[in-house]
Amino acid sequence: MVDATDRGRFQEAKEELTHLLETQELASVPFVVLGNKIDKPQAASEDELRQQLGLYAHITFGRDVR
């Protein structure tokens, strides 16, 4: 879960997520990333969260990628 209003921690969240995605034991485990506080006016948009966290390279949109 990522606080969508705390842009100062997006890099930390990205680094942690990258570490998890690169962990061999988790290679077949699906991940869900949730943006918290998206109702706040200062919150990042869904697109901004995807860009800042580097998610576009990992999005499967429900496709089986095995």
CA 38, distance to chain mean position in Å, is 14
Confidence class of residue 65 from pLDDT cuts 50, 70 and 90?
Answer: low
pLDDT digits (tens, 9 = 90+) for 4-63: 999 999 999 999 999 999 999 998 888 889 999 999 999 999 999 999 999 888 777 666
39 labelled as ligand-binding?
A: yes
14 labelled as ligand-binding?
A: no
40 labelled as ligand-binding?
A: no
Q: State the pLDDT at residue 39.
A: 96
- Bridge partner residues of 2 (DSSP): 35
Q: How many whole angstroms separate alpha carbon 52 and alpha carbon 13?
A: 9
Q: How many whole angstroms separate alpha carbon 46 and alpha carbon 60?
A: 16
